Amino acid sequence: MDIFLDIADEYLFDNVYASILPLLPVLPTLKNDTTIGTSPISSSLLFSTASSTLPRDNIYRQLVSLFVITLVFAYFFYFFFATLSYLFVFDHDLMKHPKYLKNQISKELRLSVMGFPLTTLVTVPWFLGEVRGYSRLYENIEDYGWFYAVFSIGFFLFFTDGCIYWIHRWLHHPLIYKRLHKAHHRWISAFLASGTFINGAAHHALHHLYFNYNYGQYFTLWDKIGGSYRLPTEEQLDQKIRKDDRVWMKQAKEVDEFDDNGKMKMN
């Protein structure tokens, strides 16, 4: 992120901060024994100027700049890939599902647009720490060797996937779910192929149908460790079966058996 911040400072933020919080010029330094008073002032005055009262290494400037960069990229990538997904991946027949909400796409867009500032707010402190030198990132592979480089990638995915898994499960706690996560479960998700180890769209479709399964982000490993793994069936994977009206009605009935906290209703 420090590289992105340097580029943004060079081509954008230096001018922005100079316009908003300009640093006034320092008193001129006179050359050639020029005196102040009735004598003319030499044209060779040296003015020491700076662009802004907030230099590039100011922590508050870095915080604001990183927030803007992260938020802009979040919106760009979201709308760019969401558009491609809608045009080339999304199964438009799913819009006929009985649990597909009226104006669901616009509602999903609105929720995402409203949520990005909050997710950016909790992400930026980590970027700020990296920019200010508190990370263990390195540029030369020779510093730790290839074995560590490959291992660190795998461990990073395992660790972050575990964090997301347990945060997701926490969001389904009855005291939390209704206030923070329920809005996300108002709609069903697309049914696409998923692997045994990859937590794909079909796995997440089951999560939206049955709430308490497949919390993972990248892989199914943490769901298997946590006892919340559910394997997609032909209802999610077979193109003909997954569009059957009887299957849809069955799914809609099963979804209705859960209460506002995502728990099975007691008969």
Task: Please give the average per-residue pLDDT across 61-86, as a whole number.
Answer: 95
Lowest mean pLDDT among 101-115, 116-130, 137-151: 101-115
Res 131 pLDDT > 70: yes
Domain count, the chain: 1
Whole-number pLDDT of residue 43: 40
Provide the pLDDT confidence category of residue 181 given band limits of 50, 70 and 90.
confident
Residue at 52 is within a domain: no
- 51/55: higher pLDDT: 55
pLDDT tens digits for range 187-216: 766 555 555 678 888 888 888 888 788 999
- The per-residue pLDDT for 221 is 93
Residue 162 lies in a domain: yes
Look at residue 122 and tell me whether its pLDDT is greater than 90. yes
- 264 forms bridges with which residues in the sheet? 258
Q: Is residue 236 part of a domain?
A: yes
Of the CA atoms within 13 Å of residue 111, those in its CB half-sphere come to 14
pLDDT computed for residue 48 by the predictor: 40
CA dist 22 and 198 (Å) reads 52
Mean predicted confidence (pLDDT) in 170-192: 78
Q: Which of 66-75, 91-100, 132-141, 210-219 has the lowest mean pLDDT?
A: 91-100
Looking at the domain assignment, is residue 10 inside a domain? no
Q: What is the mean pLDDT of the chain?
A: 82
Write the DSSP assignment of 57-121 as a string of letters. Answer: T-HHHHHHHHHHHHHHHHHHHHHHHHHHHHHHTS-GGGGGSTTPPTTHHHHHHHHHHHHHHHHHH
Is 38 part of any domain?
A: no
Length of the chain equals 267
The CA distance from 248 to 191, in Å, is 12
Residue 189: its pLDDT value, please?
A: 62
Instruction: Say which range, 21-25, 66-70, 184-188, 249-253, has the weakest mean pLDDT.
Output: 184-188
Residue 188 resides in a domain: yes
**Domain of residue 174, residue span:** 145-267
181-203 exposure pattern, b = at least 16 Cβ within 10 A, e = fewer: beeebebbbbbbebeeeebbbbb
80 part of a folded domain: no
**Sequence-ordered alpha helix ranges (H) in the chain:** 2-8, 14-20, 59-88, 104-131, 145-171, 174-176, 201-210, 221-226, 234-237, 245-255
Identify the weakest region by mean pLDDT among 38-42, 76-80, 193-197: 38-42
In the three-class reduction of DSSP (H, G, I as helix; E, B as strand; rest coil), residue 161 is classed as helix
The answer to whether position 45 is within a domain reads no
Mean pLDDT of 49-60: 83
